[in-house]
Structure formats: structure tokens, C-alpha cells
A and B are shown apart, each in its own frame.
Chain A
């Protein structure tokens, strides 16, 4: 009966989990540093960061699988890892292989039995796009199919909170599209989703909030647009001409990069740079202008201090300053 209620209210996002001052270190390496997070229903929270930034460690602490050094984690007003939390949580973690001699149908049936109110079998199969593979042994699955099965297992219990650690690894384009559709669907029904990914396109397309982790600390957070706005530069791209270009003479140029066929330059003052560039080199071909995307923002924000001082550019690291 409670559920009917919550479905009605599901437009409003509620805080499902809150993390305060979370610290975790392994032997002598700081893996998570003062992490503050709120996970909300009806939202996809994407955690980005390069390898070793602490994404998986963060998820493991939220699942109660790792002890934390200090800080507080409250999920559904309970301790992470408690039975009450586990029953309302789904987790898709990175798994090299599943027990090979069970069929997809059997794997799902088994996981359904773990939950008091499991999701309907057909619905699980449909969400994960496994209709035609139900009788297949997991040993015969491709990388993408294995990911789909892991996704199916993570939603078996009708989770209110869903962790997806690199969900689309190994998936082809259409499988990825249907995974995204399923994620959006679950989100619209009120599920709080925490997503880690290497595909920035995935974060861009799914996330309501993005958190950027670097060496265990959150260095930036915001909506996709806010993250992109951190990088104010614009990129001008054109076919590398046969003659050399004197980049020093181009006005307001931040950096340039000649890589093979194309040359790209970054600028803060698009109009001024364009005028100066085209005045000098009016014959440039295939000229295009693009605002910084998530990828540029990600790379820029992830650069270390040394690289920043080299390019002479200051990046606003709100998270680090705080």
C-alpha cells in the first residue's frame, strides 16, 4: 500500500542516501577524501573520474562492502549493507564472468527469490533485452550480453536505489541505447540511480547530476551544463594547411594542437580569434567551431596543477578550494 503512495509522489525527488565526510584509505593510500554526496530518487547521479579515482571504492562503501575510516553514510535511514537496505538496492558491479553452467533464466529466477517483492520475470527480461537469450548458458554470452544479464540481476528486486558500475562496457550501439532507455524508464518511476562510467556520452545523456572524482576527492559537481561551463574555451578546428601557421600571431589563442589532418585551437574570445585567424589565413578549409563538451571539461578538470600552469590557464577548482 505504501508503494502505491510513493509512486504517486515519485515526481518529487527525495533524498534516498546521504554521505557526509566520508574518508577511506587502503594501507597508506587515501582512496576517498572527505566525500559529501546526496543520492536522490528520480535522479541519475553520474560519478566520473579516471582509473583509480575512487569510483569503485565509493560504490563499495555505499554497498557496505568496505569499512569506512570516518564519516557517515545513511541509506534509507539505515546502515549501508543492512538487510533492509540490501532489499531495496540493486547493484551491477564489474564481474569478469558468471557461473558458466547456469542459464540466463535460472540466474534471474535465483536472484528474484532473494527479494520479498521481486520484479516480474517478463519485465526484467524486457528491460534487459534478453527475450531471445533466456535459455542460453552464461558461458556462451558475449561481453555485452553478460552486461545485460548483470543489469537484469541488479533490477530483479525492484530497487529504489540502483548502482551501475560501468554498465555499458562491451555493449554495441543498439544494446547501449536500449540500456539507456531502461535506465531512464527506471529513473522516471522513481529509482535513484548511481552511475559510474568511462563513456562521457553516457553521463551526458543520462545524468541529472555529475560528480567528478579525482584522487578520492570530489573536485567538481553540478549538472551537465554546469560542468561544461567550467571550461569557457571554444575550439576552432580546420584542415591543416600545407603551409605553416604562425600561432603566436593569432589573437587570444589559448592553445593549439596539430594532429595529422586537423588542427584545433582553443580560445576565450571566439570572435577576436576568428577575425585574426581568417585575416591572416583566409583560405583555411573545413572550419568548424564547437563549444567545450563534457569530454573537454572532463580532461580540463582532471589535469594536474603542473599541466595547468604550463598552459598558463587557471581552472576553477571549486571542490578543491573548499
Chain B
């Protein structure tokens, strides 16, 4: 069997060509482009992700509160937070779990695609969705809800919410690595909706019982919504630093979970 010498093989490996920066950039561009196409072509995801927060806000924030500008302005921040969580949890969590479960990620992992391309493309797509949701909510709030929002406040709110989606993307990533394809969408919903309620995204946190207000400190959406509410001085009053620290901590924890789930697969 050993009649062919192994040295021959080394000549083959000389053909290893590193990817040029332009080609590497193209991988990220195409990955993002197709991730975007994949997502918007799937109405089962794209429509609810945008419509749910928009309809909820229109209904509870504008139509049902009879011109209460304070409430419309408050709910703009909290439904904004709610809206940002959706794409992050579903595009990373549920969609990733489905693709992983069907064996599709195996094919991608066997290819020389940089692993980060997969994550960054999803991150960008989920941020674009977040931005679309925030703009829609902003338009409804300003034109129909009477919310007074300076350009600076609007921009600040958008930046906070878009980048504040990061911990939720990492939570989605961790869920996507751990969940089974069949049960992923259901489980993501079971986490998404109660967490939104308990963080005071639907009903102002101050209207919840005391023990729930304390408990909310352990939920990432609470901290993001408080940061967003600070833009119009409607927050409970904790420091920016506290909320940033909490969100960073959650992001690190979720990232570690995702890494552990990934490592476990290799054994």
C-alpha cells in the first residue's frame, strides 16, 4: 500500500493561496446580501418581525391612549426595544437552529468560509431590520401620537436601540447553537414574549408589582429599554453606566454559552 511516497503530497499544499483582502471583503458582502435576500423573501419572518411592533405600537401607543403624549413617547422606547429583540432572536436563534438542524451549517463549516462571515452577515441584517422598525415606530409616534422628538433625540434613540440589539443577537446565537430545529421557533417565542412583558415593554415597569420590578433587573430588555427611555427622561433613574454594565455582562454570558455549545458539538 505504501508504494507512493508521502513527500509527493507536500507539493500539493504549496497551492494554498491566501485570500486577497478584496476577495475576503467580497465573501462578507455576498454573505450579507444573500442573508438579506433570504430573510426578506421569507414573509413568515419578515412580516411579523416588522408588523408586530408597529401594530402593537399603533394600537396601544396611539389609538388606545387618547392623545396621551407621555404614554406615546414612553411606548416608543419600549416597543422600539421589543422590535429590536425580534429580528435578533429569530434570525439568529430560530433561523440558525433550523439551518443547523437540517445539516446546512455542516456544509458551510466544511467550506473555507470564515466563521465570522456567517455571524456578521446575520448581525448586519438584523440591524437593518431593527432600523426599519425604529423608523416605522418613530413616524407613527411623531405624526400620529404627537410625540415631540428632536432630530438629535431620534438619532440617539436609533443608535441606542440598534446597537442595543447586540446582546439579543448573542442570546439568539446561543439559542441557535443549542436548540433543536423543530422546537426552536416555539422556544424562542416562549423566551421573547414573557421577557418583553416582564421588562416593562408593554406595560410601564412602574405599574408592575414591586417584586417584578426588582426581578426586571435580571432581564436584558429592561436595561435596554431604560437606556432608550433616558433619551426623553422617562426612565426609572438608574445610571447609564449600570445599564451598560448589565447589557455588557449579559452579552458576555450569552457569547460564552454560544461558544460552549459550539465546542460541545465537536466531541
A residues with CB within 8 A of B: 2-3, 6, 13-18, 38, 40-41, 63, 65-67, 74, 76-78, 83-84, 86-89, 91, 93-102, 106, 109-111, 113-117, 150, 153, 157, 160, 163
* 9 A-B pairs with the lowest CB-CB distances in the bound complex, closest first: A101-B41, A14-B8, A91-B110, A86-B112, A116-B17, A76-B13, A95-B103, A84-B16, A96-B102
- Give chain B interface residues in 6-20, CB to chain A under 8 Å: 6, 8-20
Complex CA gap A113/B113 in Å reads 9
Complex CA gap A110/B39 in Å reads 16
Contact at A114–B107, with CB atoms within 8 Å? no
Which B residues are in CB contact (< 8 Å) with A17? Answer: 9
Contact at B102–A95, with CB atoms within 8 Å? yes
B148 located at the interface, meaning its Cβ lies under 8 Å from any Cβ of chain A in the complex: no
Contact at A83–B4, with CB atoms within 8 Å? no
Which A residues are in CB contact (< 8 Å) with B19? Answer: 116
Shortest distance between the CB of B25 and any CB in chain A (Å)? 10
Give the bracket for the number of chain B residues in contact with chain A: 35 or more
The closest CB in chain B to the CB of A116 belongs to: B17
Neighbour of B9 across the interface among A77, A117, A153, CB < 8 A: A77
Contact at B9–A15, with CB atoms within 8 Å? yes
Contact at B112–A77, with CB atoms within 8 Å? no
Which B residues are in CB contact (< 8 Å) with A76? Answer: 9, 12-13, 16
Complex CA gap A83/B12 in Å reads 14
Complex CA gap A260/B243 in Å reads 77
Shortest distance between the CB of A116 and any CB in chain B (Å)? 4
Contact stretch, chosen from B26-34, B133-141, B155-163, B208-216:
B26-34
Additional A-B contacts beyond A67-B266, A76-B12, A95-B107 (4; CB < 8 A): A3-B15, A13-B4, A74-B9, A102-B38
Complex CA gap A14/B20 in Å reads 29
Contact at A87–B38, with CB atoms within 8 Å? no
Contact at B42–A101, with CB atoms within 8 Å? yes
Given the known interface contacts A2-B15, A15-B8, the answer about A97 and B104 at a Cβ–Cβ threshold of 8 Å is yes
Complex CA gap A153/B2 in Å reads 33
Contact at A113–B30, with CB atoms within 8 Å? yes
Contact at B15–A40, with CB atoms within 8 Å? no
Given the known interface contacts A99-B38, A102-B38, A110-B30, the answer about A65 and B106 at a Cβ–Cβ threshold of 8 Å is yes
Contact at B37–A102, with CB atoms within 8 Å? yes
Complex CA gap A125/B259 in Å reads 37
Shortest distance between the CB of A89 and any CB in chain B (Å)? 7
Shortest distance between the CB of A37 and any CB in chain B (Å)? 9
Complex CA gap A66/B23 in Å reads 29
- 19 example contacts (A-B, Cβ-Cβ < 8 A) are as follows A6-B12, A14-B11, A18-B9, A38-B2, A76-B12, A88-B12, A88-B13, A88-B16, A95-B104, A96-B101, A102-B38, A106-B34, A109-B30, A111-B111, A113-B23, A114-B27, A114-B112, A115-B112, A153-B107
The closest CB in chain A to the CB of B41 belongs to: A101
Shortest distance between the CB of B158 and any CB in chain A (Å)? 28
Which A residues are in CB contact (< 8 Å) with B38? Answer: 99, 101-102
Shortest distance between the CB of B205 and any CB in chain A (Å)? 38
